[in-house]
Structure 1
Amino acid sequence: MYLKNIHLYSFRNYTDQTVQFKAQKTIIVGNNAQGKSNLLEAIELLSTLKSHRVSRDRELILEDAQTGQILANLTRSYGTSELALILRSSGRRTVILNQEPLRRHIDFLGILNAVQFSSLDLELVRGAPEVRRNWVDTLLIQLEPVYSHILQQYNQVLRQRNALLKEIRKRELANQNDKTESFSSDVSQLNLWDHQLAETGSRVTRRRARVIERIRSLAQAWHSSISGKTEILQIKYLPNVNWIEDDPIQVQQAFLEKIEQRRLAEQQLGTTVVGPHRDEIEFTINHTPAKSYGSQGQQRTLVLALKLAELKLLEEIIGEPPLLLLDDVLAELDANRQNQLLEAIQDRFQTLITTTHLNSFDPQWLKSSQILSVEKGQICH
């Protein structure tokens, strides 16, 4: 997989910029806030249709512009693809593959595969559970694009069910005269949403469990290598709904049983407390929670092992190496971890690295890399 070029139009701080990639490794150098990370973010958007930095498209578009565009040409083992993403300040997007607008965004996913590693990824260890859920979900979207639709369905059911629980709570507090009649109607509606939550939620949790199972051994092998076999990494998936056998009917039944157990709590709180939106992923080093007790060095080793495991898993499943996007992380790693990372990359993955200075790179790396400099949204070759 090789990204040949990318064109940014009214994207972030880029007015009109084309970049041709001429080597397997590209180093993008410049001071902070010049546009280095924005270039990698554009590639991330073509890969997952998501940005890990912002949630609204308005923030991705150049100030005073109404639309922004990202265009790219990608070569894969089966041929060349032309990708285009049009962003609008209204939030409506258009995705185009080989000059054909796609009706479904899901058909755009899985064309360009990339693993992003930035200093923000340390939040994977020390951040809130939502960060770890987003990490697993983003990986799954690349491995199995239909997961994007499954997750969307679950979130839609969750919103509708929460709205109903909120309404039930409001009515109970108001103590209306027709309480008996409305209560009967509410229970009937809630029962319908219970089954939909169980059905969509079981699809999410089963896929998360599978991908954690697959990435665990890869991450453990990398972690052992980087730490010099002095530390043992464990990764545990802690689903909000416990289930044993990966069977759709049994998992749905486990959901319905837990919903029944938490019925009173949900009605009192006016929100859904059962489901994968409350899942957790636990990392432990030598049987100690990495979040609470891991040193900064241990946390960096863990995140590096996870990212290298992502690369390996994507390569195994899609059949060719994905792109690797390193956003200002070399400065965060000590010499040993830098060497482990650079040794793992070599020339196997097309790699784009942002940095504020070049002196942390091996001379051989500099010699074999394309070096671009960025200043105020202008890239010079």
Structure 2
Amino acid sequence: MYVAHLSLHDFRSYAGVEVEIGPGVTAFVGRNGQGKTNLVEAIDYLSSLSSHRVAADAPLVRQGASQAIVRAAVVRDERRAVLEIEINPGKSNRARINRSPLPKAKELLGLVKTVVFSPEDLSLVKGDPSDRRRFMDDLLVQISPRYAGIRADYERVLKQRNSLLKTARANRRGRQSDETLISTLAVWDARLSELGAEMMRRRTQLVEDLQPLAGKAYEAVARGANRDDAVLVYRPSFELSGDGTPLEDQLHAELQRRRPDELDRALTLVGPHRDELMVSLGDLPVKGYASHGESWSFALALRLASYDLLRSSGDDPVLILDDVFAELDAGRRAQLADLVADAEQVLITAAVGEDIPEQLRGRRFTVAGGEVTLDG
């Protein structure tokens, strides 16, 4: 699978731009602030309906415009389809396939798969637990688009439950009866346990699948390492019994046990929103113990493992290397290039063309002053 053509209207810095891409390696080269990352960000947005750079949609719309449009022609098994997303901050986004509207934008999920390497990847190993939870959940959506609905339902239930806990705490302080609220809370407990258990099961399986791939990738990109050095462990927010009790029941029981604490703090203290993906080199966590080079190697290994896992389904994802070579020494640049050179489509952004390894020299565009020009 590859993106053959990209069209942007009022997306980021572009009032309008058309770019013919094609399979193989394509590089966008230009000084910082010229808009090269905006091009690959748009393709990634079609894949995940979110940006790897910002949390909200508003920054994606060009200043002065009310909406942005990303349109891409995608080729899979020699069949071509035009995918389109209309980004409407504060309103519902709208999606189309071959100009035909889709009932919901999320139906685009799974039609384009991407794996993005970027300077922000260091947060996967050195950032907050929320960064690693997002990594797991975003990857699960690419593997199974249905997971997006489970994730959204859980977040909605969590929000409702936290709101109830805040009201119950206020009532207790005002010495008002909160029996009705507690009864309603029990309903949300059951739903949170059901959805939370499903998320935990899928995350656990994902980490099991990623572990050998991450170990293999770390061995390839870290000097003198072996595949047993990189360790991934999914750690729930409470201790599992291991006695065969259904996960839903264990989560529900823990919610009951922690209810006094939750009422005091007006927060849900148990569930996948508080779980952690532990990343370690041997027995030591990467965060706080690994060197800068080791941390970068581990972050690259996680992305490479993601790529290999998605590729195992039989459909190559679009591989995006967003300004990543500037962060790597020459050795790691060459190692990464060797590992991804056979991908069906590789999109690269770089401020300096010489940073791109020889193995990844292909079609090249210069990006400057809002113009995207094919070299040569």
Give the TM-score range, shorter chain.
Answer: over 0.9
Q: Percent identity?
A: 34
Which residue of 1 is the match for residue 188 of structure 2? Answer: 193
Q: Distance in 2 between matches of 1:377 and 1:291?
A: 39
Q: Distance in 2 between matches of 1:337 and 1:112?
A: 28
CA-to-partner distance for each residue in 1:206-249, whole Å, 9 max, x for gaps? 111111110111000111222245351111101114446798x7
1:263 aligned partner, one-letter code: R
2:311 aligned partner, one-letter code: E
Post-superposition offset of 1:267: 0.5
Q: Do the aligned partners of 2:26 and 2:364 also contact (CA within 8 Å) in 1?
A: yes
Residue 341 in structure 1 maps to residue 336 in structure 2: yes
SS in structure 2 at match of 1:208: helix
Q: Distance in 1 between matches of 2:173 and 2:53?
A: 40
Which residue of 2 is the match for residue 240 of structure 1? Answer: 237
CA-to-partner distance for each residue in 1:133-175, whole Å, 9 max, x for gaps? 0111110000000000000000010011001000000111112
Post-superposition offset of 1:297: 0.1
Q: Paired residues, what number?
A: 372
Which residue of 1 is the match for residue 102 of structure 2? Answer: 102
Post-superposition offset of 1:74: 0.4
2:203 aligned partner, one-letter code: R
Which residue of 1 is the match for residue 111 of structure 2? Answer: 111
Deviates more, 1:49-58 or 1:290-299: 49-58
Q: 1:365 to 1:144 in 2, by over 3 A?
A: closer
Which residue of 2 is the match for residue 354 of structure 1? Answer: 349
Which residue of 2 is the match for residue 261 of structure 1? Answer: 257
Which residue of 2 is the match for residue 371 of structure 1? Answer: 364
Q: 1:204 to 1:23 in 2, by over 3 A?
A: closer
Q: How does 1:1-381 map to 2 (within 5 A)?
A: 1-77=1-77, 79-176=79-176, 179=177, 183-231=178-226, 232-243=229-240, 250-317=246-313, 319-363=314-358, 365-366=360-361, 369-381=362-374
Q: Distance in 2 between matches of 1:115 and 1:23?
A: 15
SS in structure 2 at match of 1:240: coil
1:377 aligned partner, one-letter code: G
Q: Do the aligned partners of 1:70 and 1:86 also contact (CA within 8 Å) in 2?
A: yes
SS in structure 2 at match of 1:257: helix
Q: Distance in 2 between matches of 1:20 and 1:208?
A: 37
SS in structure 2 at match of 1:326: strand
CA-to-partner distance for each residue in 1:301-327, whole Å, 9 max, x for gaps? 10111111111100102x121110111
Q: Distance in 2 between matches of 1:153 and 1:24?
A: 38
SS in structure 1 at match of 2:305: helix
Q: Distance in 1 between matches of 2:242 and 2:303?
A: 29
Q: 1:364 to 1:307 in 2, by over 3 A?
A: closer
Root-mean-square deviation (CA), in Å?
1.6
Q: 1:184 to 1:363 in 2, by over 3 A?
A: closer
> What stretches of structure 2 of length at least 5 have no aligned partner?
none
Q: 1:349 to 1:90 in 2, by over 3 A?
A: same
Q: 1:267 to 1:57 in 2, by over 3 A?
A: same
SS in structure 2 at match of 1:359: helix
2:44 aligned partner, one-letter code: E
Q: Do the aligned partners of 1:115 and 1:311 also contact (CA within 8 Å) in 2?
A: yes
CA-to-partner distance for each residue in 1:33-60, whole Å, 9 max, x for gaps? 1111111110111001011222222211
Q: 1:160 to 1:78 in 2, by over 3 A?
A: farther
Q: 1:34 to 1:162 in 2, by over 3 A?
A: same
Q: Distance in 2 between matches of 1:196 and 1:349?
A: 42
2:262 aligned partner, one-letter code: E
Q: 1:45 to 1:106 in 2, by over 3 A?
A: same
Q: Distance in 1 between matches of 2:321 and 2:173?
A: 52
Q: Distance in 2 between matches of 1:352 and 1:204?
A: 31
Q: Do the aligned partners of 1:22 and 1:370 also contact (CA within 8 Å) in 2?
A: no
Q: Do the aligned partners of 2:70 and 2:85 also contact (CA within 8 Å) in 1?
A: yes
Q: Distance in 2 between matches of 1:348 and 1:354?
A: 16
